[in-house]
């Protein structure tokens, strides 16, 4: 009796697939050898229950690398490019597997699709969205009335994170951020769908949104979001204030941001968990800014179950 085993795609096909941001199942089926290696590594890490090891794994999985000059010029037939592609496939598989694990832990759903029931879905739509997945600033008063009525609260964030939505903004948060910015020239980096910039602009802020479009396919980027990575955007627009919501854990752009002399204030909206957002090593290592959490703003990020915070970095005089 013979058993049909999955056959890995060749290097070029695997690289092309990776550019389409496939889901975990599709990528694992296309690259079974890489998936076996990732699965064994994850099983060993979870078995050891070492928080530092898990943090290092999460940071490594969030990294993105581009082909170097050799590969861009066409040298894609050799062992070096095959090794590069395999490394990128394994990083992506690790990231997707960790996301699936977090989703299962948050929702209690390990098989099939998680869905709101009709009642919870209608209330969540009414509370957080103008239409479809287009967010709106949420009135705190309305939130306090409706949120307790939603019985499936733990499903909300895992479901919307798939579309690049990491939190919701209260009207009071937008007003507080606008007051902190105080009319200065502002840039949002890693802006995703640009909703935060849209809300700040409506509150009278001179703000430009930018993103490197690395989530294209999951996020609908409007034309108002400039296609630029964080450093290029800062250098082009020379903002006095930079704001970022949910910067990726262990990212490299915040280190570069602290070196830009034009930036007077940097505002971060993120998770209190250092595993989830922000480059905390650089926060603590940099010496050009004094920084603090702004609790009066932190409590205005929704929903409160996120345990989100707002941190403000002010350049030293």
Residues 185 and 74 in one domain: no
pLDDT digits (tens, 9 = 90+) for 195-227: 999 999 999 999 999 999 988 878 889 999 999
Please give the residue range of the domain that contains residue 85.
11-107
Of 166, 153, 145, 104, give the one whose Cα is nearest residue 124: 153
Q: Which residues contact 46 (CB under 8 A, 6 or more apart)?
A: 54
- Does residue 136 sit within a domain? yes
Q: What is the pLDDT of residue 232?
A: 97
- Higher-pLDDT residue of 18, 126: 126
Q: How far is CA 158 from the centre of its chain?
A: 12
Residues 247 and 282 in one domain: yes
Whether the predicted pLDDT of 2 surpasses 50: no
- Higher-pLDDT residue of 26, 308: 308
- Does residue 1 sit within a domain? no
- Number of domain units in the chain: 3
Of 127, 182, 195, 175, give the one whose Cα is nearest residue 296: 175
- Does residue 90 sit within a domain? yes
pLDDT digits (tens, 9 = 90+) for 240-294: 999 999 998 888 899 999 999 999 999 999 999 887 889 999 999 999 999 999 9
Of 91, 101, 112, 102, give the one whose Cα is nearest residue 35: 91
User: What is this structure's pTM?
Assistant: 0.71
pLDDT digits (tens, 9 = 90+) for 120-178: 888 999 999 999 889 999 999 999 999 999 888 888 888 888 888 999 999 999 999 99
Domain boundary (75, 107, 139) is at 107
Residues 190 and 254 in one domain: yes
Distance between CA atoms of residues 39 and 64, nearest Å: 20
Residues 87 and 153 in one domain: no
Q: What is the pLDDT of residue 75?
A: 57
Of 58, 64, 49, give the one whose Cα is nearest residue 275: 58
Whether the predicted pLDDT of 7 surpasses 50: no
- Does residue 222 sit within a domain? yes
Q: Helix, strand, or coil here: 268?
A: strand
* 3 state SS for 71-117: HHCCCCCCHHHHHHHHHHHHHHHHHHHHHHHHHHHHHCCCCCCCCCC
Of 188, 257, 256, give the one whose Cα is nearest residue 225: 188
Whether the predicted pLDDT of 6 surpasses 70: no
- Does residue 3 sit within a domain? no
Q: Please state whether beta strands 265-271 and 308-315 pair in parallel, antiparallel, or not at all (unpaired).
A: antiparallel
Residues 141 and 176 in one domain: no
Distance between CA atoms of residues 157 and 167, nearest Å: 7
């Amino acid at each position: 009796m013979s058993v049909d085993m999955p056959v890995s795609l060749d290097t070029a096909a695997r690289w092309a697939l990776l550019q389409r941001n496939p889901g975990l199942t599709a990528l694992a089926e296309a690259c079974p050898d890489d998936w076996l290696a990732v699965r064994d590594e994850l099983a060993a890490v979870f078995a050891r229950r070492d928080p530092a090891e898990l943090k290092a794994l999460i940071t490594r999985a969030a990294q993105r690398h581009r082909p170097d000059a050799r590969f861009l010029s066409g040298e894609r037939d050799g062992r070096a490019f095959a090794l590069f592609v395999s490394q990128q496939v394994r990083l992506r598989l690790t990231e997707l597997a960790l996301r699936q694990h977090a989703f299962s832990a948050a929702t209690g759903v390990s098989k099939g699709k998680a869905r709101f029931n009709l009642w919870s879905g209608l209330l969540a739509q009414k509370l957080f969205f103008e239409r479809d997945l287009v967010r709106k600033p949420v009135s705190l008063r309305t939130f306090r009335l409706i949120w307790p009525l939603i019985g499936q609260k733990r499903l909300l964030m895992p479901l919307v994170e798939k579309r690049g939505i990491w939190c919701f903004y209260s009207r009071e948060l937008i007003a507080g951020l606008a007051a902190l910015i105080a009319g200065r020239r502002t840039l949002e980096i890693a802006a995703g769908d640009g909703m935060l910039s849209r809300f700040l602009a409506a509150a009278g802020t001179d703000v430009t949104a930018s993103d490197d479009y690395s989530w294209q396919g999951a996020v609908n980027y409007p034309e108002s979001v400039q296609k630029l990575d964080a450093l290029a955007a800062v250098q082009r627009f020379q903002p006095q204030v930079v704001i970022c919501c949910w910067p990726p854990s262990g990212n490299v752009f915040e280190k570069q941001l602290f070196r830009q002399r034009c930036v007077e204030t940097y505002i971060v909206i993120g998770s209190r968990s250092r595993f989830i957002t922000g480059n905390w090593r650089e926060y603590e290592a940099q010496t050009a800014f004094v920084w603090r959490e702004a609790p009066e703003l932190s409590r205005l990020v929704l929903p409160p179950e996120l345990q989100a915070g707002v941190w403000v970095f002010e350049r030293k005089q």
